[in-house]
Amino acid sequence: MPAERLVPRLWVPASGSAADPAGQRTKADVFAAILTAGPMSRTEVAQQLRLSQSTVTKIVNPLMDAGYLVEDSAAAAEGAVGRPRRMLQVRTELHLVVGVKIGPSKVTAVLTDLGAQVLARWEQPLADRRIGAVVAATAQGVRELLASVPGSAERMLGLGVGVSGHVDPVAGLCRYSALMGWHDEDVAGPLAAATGLPVAVGNDVNTLVVAEQWFGHGRDTESFAVVTVGPGVGCGLLLGGRLHLGRTGLAGEFGHMPLDPAGPVCSCGNTGCLEALVSYGAVLRRLREAGLEGCDDIDEAVALARSGRGPDSKTALAAFAAAGDALGRGLAGLCNLLNLEKIVLAGEGAAVQDLFGPAMAAALREHAFSTAAADCEVIVDAVTDDLWARGAACLVIRDAVQS
């Protein structure tokens, strides 16, 4: 491995730099366009990103000098008249990246190429959520992934990590995660020391936003949100083609938007947060309050609601419908505030959209202002943990080509 890659350090995200004016197209934008839609000519890149060809050339040349892009005139369309177009494409084999999703119950990691295509994956249950145990498990996963692909260590670009809660990507810290029970934990530093790799850390839903932007429903979309529903409620935002982090990475804490001052206590300690009304825990709490005993986990609640077996099934259906109604009210607020093009519903809850979806859609229509609901397409995407981890890998790739 080259010596410069052996120095563990925090990867400061270029997208968070004050030197990058809002709306300015960057090398990362051009790279992503060529990766997801290429091979492309400079003219096609300019048209897609609404740039001048001279601007595209200024951006492309350093990417070619660094080896991220190559030209291939043979990639031009057959039968083209005149001089063959020089088509740009990503050298996906140039580097490898590890992307990691850290969750309350397991760690999932993938080894990808520069195109974020998975070459190997690793997963391990997480019995201990303390930062030391999580770092040790993640480092073990990195070692096993590198060992599984010969020659991978020499091509490693870095390690991207997604974790729930308030994550400060510049400092590499998890300021607060209710799901993990973390307060001001240094994530990047210990992982860099344990793996010898540069480390980029971000909120896990933000990593999913990047994955959806590059490979999923967010392609060719300037403004969308990813909202995750499950043990918690998360949100990531792409606004004006940019991942919106806020001042310290706190943007998108949709689950802790206060909705009901008389509502239940949330995992964050406040009262009546959206998460306290929508999460799996909220559904199970409603079942207990209704006097339904013996339904202790969400899988049992889902099976009961779908069973159609008498009053208990109706009680379970009502619990999911109440969660859907609260979620719809929250989404209406999001649409009213941001006038989004799309909202992608993901997370474990996407698999039970049949139970909460009708109430959610009705509440969204009822509480959205003017055309805010009609303007926004709501898409359910039951993504796998691998896509979250690929999104974490994309953080490294994006910031590397931007630097």
Give a three-class secondary structure readout of 195-220. Answer: HCCCEEEEEHHHHHHHHHHHHCCCCC
Q: Judge contact between 204 and 394, C-beta under 8 A.
A: no
Least confident range from 96-100, 148-152, 289-293, 393-397: namely 289-293
- Retrieve residue 352's tokens: 């039970």
Sign of CA dihedral 99, 102, 103, 109: positive
101-121 mean pLDDT? 95
What is the predicted pLDDT for the residue at 81?
Answer: 57
DSSP string, 334-383: HHHHH--SEEEEESGGGGGHHHHHHHHHHHHHHHS-TTHHHHSEEEE---
353-376 mean pLDDT? 96
Q: Judge contact between 58 and 43, C-beta under 8 A.
A: no
Give the model confidence (pLDDT) of 22-71 as tens digits: 334 578 889 988 998 889 999 999 998 888 889 999 999 999 999 999 98
Q: How many CB atoms lie within 10 A of CB 383?
A: 20
CA distance 97 to 119: 10
293-311 mean pLDDT? 88
The pTM (predicted TM-score) of the whole model is 0.86
Give the model confidence (pLDDT) of 266-285 as tens digits: 988 899 999 999 999 999 99
What is the predicted pLDDT for the residue at 220?
Answer: 82
Q: Judge contact between 192 and 8, C-beta under 8 A.
A: yes
What is the predicted pLDDT for the residue at 72?
Answer: 81
The pLDDT confidence band at residue 292, using thresholds 50, 70 and 90, is confident
The pLDDT confidence band at residue 117, using thresholds 50, 70 and 90, is very high
Of the chain, the percentage scoring pLDDT greater than 90 comes to 70
70-74 mean pLDDT? 77
DSSP string, 47-68: HHHT--HHHHHHHHHHHHHTTS
What is the predicted pLDDT for the residue at 219?
Answer: 86
- Residues present in the chain in total: 403
What is the predicted pLDDT for the residue at 82?
Answer: 56
Instruction: Say whether pLDDT at 329 is over 90.
Output: yes
What is the predicted pLDDT for the residue at 145?
Answer: 97
